[in-house]
Structure 1
Amino acid sequence: MNRREMPVASETVRPDPADLGIEALRTHVAGEMQRTRDRSITLTSAVDDDELVEQHSPLMSPLVWDLAHVGSQEEIWLVRDVGGRSAVRPDIDDLYDAFQHARADRPSLPLLGPTEARQYVTTVRDKVLDLLERTPLEGRRLVERAFAFGMIVQHEQQHDETMLATHQLRRGAPVLDDVPPPAAMEADSLPAEVLVPGGPFVMGTSTEPWALDNERPAHEVHVADFCIDTTPVTNGQFLRFIDSGGYDQPRWWSEQGWQYRQHAQLHAPLFWSNEDGTWWRRRFGRVEPVALDEPVVHVCFHEAQAYANWAGKRLPTEQEWEKAARFDPHSGRSLRYPWGQEDPRPEQANLGQRHLRPAPAGAYPAGAAPCGARQLLGDVWEWTASDFLPYPGFAAFPYREYSEVFFGTGHKVLRGGSFGTDAAACRGTFRNWDYPIRRQIFAGFRCARTPGRDELS
């Protein structure tokens, strides 16, 4: 089997859809859709058809389900709704409705086979590219600034990250190649944490053309003074928690967290093992020593919270995280990204599956936020202390099932994206959420704390 190289992100800055004329916007959308589909093809062609239909974990769908699902959503929203055209495969709508079938049950469904799934998504895409040339990208909220097309790009990229997580869960020889991330040349000179002064800032967005409903609307939030780690917590730091007996001491865990730790018999991050005193990790089919300088990944919310308690800190709230990532005290404005307004470049963030691991803590100085914190976008999703709740003035669009049905105390917010997150599906306002027990996702964390009066003076 041929091993597949990861698509390398372009050095060219991706334009903001809000700044483009209509014809340039059409070209941009077509390019984003092709770039995204190339990634889907890479992930599904890296294994043979037998592995495409196999369920590598009950937590995940077979890869072939994800492939046909992105085509089904593209057909429903673009071919039928935006284009008003006849349905391609209305008979499979229910099969690929994520709300009707749990992931564990999907292998038993009469799914499209690999060849049929590939043909289906190609047919749908051909129709979409045709209607893209004919659809007025204004005058209707669903198509204004190509929103529906951007929504579908983000949806497919999110499933690409899910498929990448499935690759991590599969057993067998490596099938994905990558290049090492950049080193952190000055990591030893970085402060452990930075102080973010209190005060108001604008959270969320009302202007980002492709922002999803849970990111809206922009609203002012007041955050008190806080300190936040300059970089995500590393494997080496987390090992000290393990070595101190952190997994065996209930005092560091919430009641719910301790119950889950016992039930799941947690003793280290997922994919770690200890042999003769040496910690190893399994990474996309490779077994290698745990890299001490990389951000810890594959930990659940409860593990992150226990570490923070052990360290005498806490997890940041979602509001604190976004202020650290976006607020520019010199202008008093909130930025699109930690480094400014322009879309991510490779030297600013570890995004887009260029590397199959987090970069060492302290990398990407060009991507630092005004407060001095680094790697707030890319590398690892970061657990926050916040429940996934609507912003004041929230309105579901274009359907309730994207965000609204998940609001409540059952899901925790993650921010910032991971090495497997594409730039199209990651920005300073982007909100991810998951159950606090999830470990197969590319999630880590950084800590925060409330400074004392003497520190503020």
Structure 2
Amino acid sequence: MTSDADTDRPLSAARYPDALRRRLAAELATARDRTQALTDAVDDAELMQQHSPLMSPLHWDVAHIANMEDFWLVRRATPGETASPGVREDIDHLYDAFTNPRSGRPELPLLDPVEARAYGATVRERALQILEEAGTDGRALLDDGFVFGMIAQHEQQHVETMLATHQLRQGPRALRADPPPTSSQARDLIGSEVFHPAGTFTMGTDAGGPDVYALDNERPAHRVEVAAFHLDAAPVTNAEFARFVDDGGYSRRELWSDAGWEHITGEGWSAPMTWENVDGAWYRTSFGEREAISGVADQPVLHVCFHEALAYATWAGKRLPTEVEWEYAARFDPTTGSTRRFPWGDDDPSPERANLDGRHLQPAPVGAYPDGASPLGVHQLIGDVWEWCDSGFEGYPGFAPFPYKEYSEVFFGGDFRMLRGSSFGVGAVNARTTFRNWDLPIRRQIFSGFRCARSAEHA
């Protein structure tokens, strides 16, 4: 959490406009409401349990969220100062995500749930007081309210992580939500492809652009040429993936990369996470409740890793899209030649366009959001499931870390694979076509799915 972006300089803050302050306060409140809903759903004893070595105990997330807000807002956003005292500077080392791997966090002398909640409440009170007086003052951190948006996004990212922890916990279901909308287009979309002609578009975004809370790895905007390709009109569904499984997909060596085969055989995987075969029929467990795959056949498949997605694509005679192809499909309008913010245009996400904010706690059937489709007819590029792309994680040309290197730069060049599009658990403030998520290719506790692509010359 060290800052290398702020320097001592004379400050003359111009307070944020009322509309911006209201929006920032609302984003912070929305994120906190989701945090409280997920943590209030279980008792304090369970908040301190570690449900998987891949995940933190939930009370660690609660205090880490507060510590991040303490570090960046309380200490660094005070008008007229470059830094001010924090609420709990003595615990920074306990809640540094970069230096404390998840598997070892239960062994740390952490705040208990009552203390963690109280810390979060105190920090939030201070942050809202600062927001009342904050404004653009010569520090990039405060331009357009960036730091407040960054903190809201950070909490929403941990909300999705906590949601994944709920998925891994044992015991009766603790979370409930309304079912997703139905679809009348699933039959037409499943298995169909959309041709994308070659073109040039603007990938990424800039500081001061329409998405002012875009993070450093989304910047800068740059022009990219894209060769023609075909892209599935919808994510791969449970029914489609079940056919791959039933065709021996997990036992056919020729479908897997060397790394993928080594991993699935070492782990003994034979189906997606939470799937089990009962008397010849497939079932999945969703937040503690077992349900037949046949009842959610048209939903995008969930909890598959990159290796599983790649093996399916090979089985289907296709490949995974690159990150460039995915963003091109999600943003480029070939009719006007313009690059849009979202598949549907420039307006923010709404419940009619995308499955976000955990409002349904599961993907919706493909085709359930026709108002969110791209100009060429690609559906559900935003929401429902993160989509694996066959690209590594690197900085864009001209990349500059902001506000700290540990958010993105230290991860460049590793074994990571990109995920695009947001899942049903993502907060709308994070849901952007430029947003870049990354994870190791073996990870599948995340809300990940995929769609396939095919090069046009193979048509």
The alpha carbon displacement at 1:21 in A equals 6.6
Q: For 2:136, what is the secondary structure of its paired residue?
A: coil
Q: How does 1:76-95 map to 2 (within 5 A)?
A: 76-83=71-78, 84-95=83-94
Q: Equivalent residue for 2:199?
A: 199
Q: One-letter code of the match for 1:114?
A: P
The alpha carbon displacement at 1:285 in A equals 0.9
| Contact 2:195–2:231 (Cα < 8 Å) also in 1 | yes
Q: Equivalent residue for 2:419?
A: 414
Q: Equivalent residue for 1:436?
A: 441
Separation in 2 of the partners of 1:188 and 1:315? 22
Separation in 2 of the partners of 1:282 and 1:137? 48
1:227 corresponds to which of 220, 226, 230? 230
2:256 corresponds to which of 253, 258, 264? 253
| Contact 1:378–1:417 (Cα < 8 Å) also in 2 | yes
Task: Please give the root-mean-square deviation of Cα atoms over the aligned residues, in Å.
Answer: 1.2
| Contact 1:74–1:124 (Cα < 8 Å) also in 2 | yes
Separation in 1 of the partners of 2:200 and 2:34? 40
Q: For 2:93, what is the secondary structure of its paired residue?
A: coil
2:343 corresponds to which of 338, 344, 353? 338
Separation in 2 of the partners of 1:246 and 1:337? 35
Number of positions where the alignment pairs a residue of Structure 1 with one of Structure 2: 435
Separation in 2 of the partners of 1:389 and 1:278? 42
Q: Equivalent residue for 1:29?
A: 24
Separation in 2 of the partners of 1:138 and 1:316? 42
Q: Equivalent residue for 1:153?
A: 152
| Contact 1:22–1:137 (Cα < 8 Å) also in 2 | no
Are 2:370 and 1:373 aligned?
no
1:306 corresponds to which of 296, 304, 311? 311
The alpha carbon displacement at 1:90 in A equals 1.1
- C-alpha deviations, 1:64-110, integer Å up to 9, x for none? 00000000000000000112331211111000001121111111111
- TM-score of the pair, normalised by structure 1: 0.94
| Contact 2:303–2:447 (Cα < 8 Å) also in 1 | yes
- C-alpha deviations, 1:374-431, integer Å up to 9, x for none? 0000000000000011100100000000000111141000000000011111101000
**Structure 2: runs of 5+ lacking an equivalent:** 1-14
Q: How does 1:122-133 map to 2 (within 5 A)?
A: 122-133=121-132
Separation in 1 of the partners of 2:406 and 2:203? 23
**Structure 1: runs of 5+ lacking an equivalent:** 1-19
The alpha carbon displacement at 1:189 in A equals 2.8
| Contact 2:186–2:298 (Cα < 8 Å) also in 1 | no
Are 2:218 and 1:215 aligned?
yes
Runs of 4+ in 1 over 3 A off after TM superposition: none
Q: For 2:406, what is the secondary structure of its paired residue?
A: coil
| Contact 1:167–1:284 (Cα < 8 Å) also in 2 | yes
Separation in 1 of the partners of 2:239 and 2:196? 25
The alpha carbon displacement at 1:280 in A equals 0.8
- TM-score of the pair, normalised by structure 2: 0.93
Q: Equivalent residue for 1:296?
A: 301
Separation in 2 of the partners of 1:359 and 1:182? 6
Q: Equivalent residue for 1:167?
A: 166
Q: How does 1:363-402 map to 2 (within 5 A)?
A: 363-402=368-407
- C-alpha deviations, 1:29-71, integer Å up to 9, x for none? 0111011100000011100000000101111000000000000
Q: For 1:389, what is the secondary structure of its paired residue?
A: coil
| Contact 2:16–2:134 (Cα < 8 Å) also in 1 | no
Q: Equivalent residue for 1:319?
A: 324
Separation in 2 of the partners of 1:157 and 1:77? 16
Are 2:177 and 1:184 aligned?
no
The alpha carbon displacement at 1:362 in A equals 1.6
Q: One-letter code of the match for 2:179?
A: P
| Contact 2:53–2:102 (Cα < 8 Å) also in 1 | yes
Query: What is the percent sequence identity of the aligned residues?
Result: 58
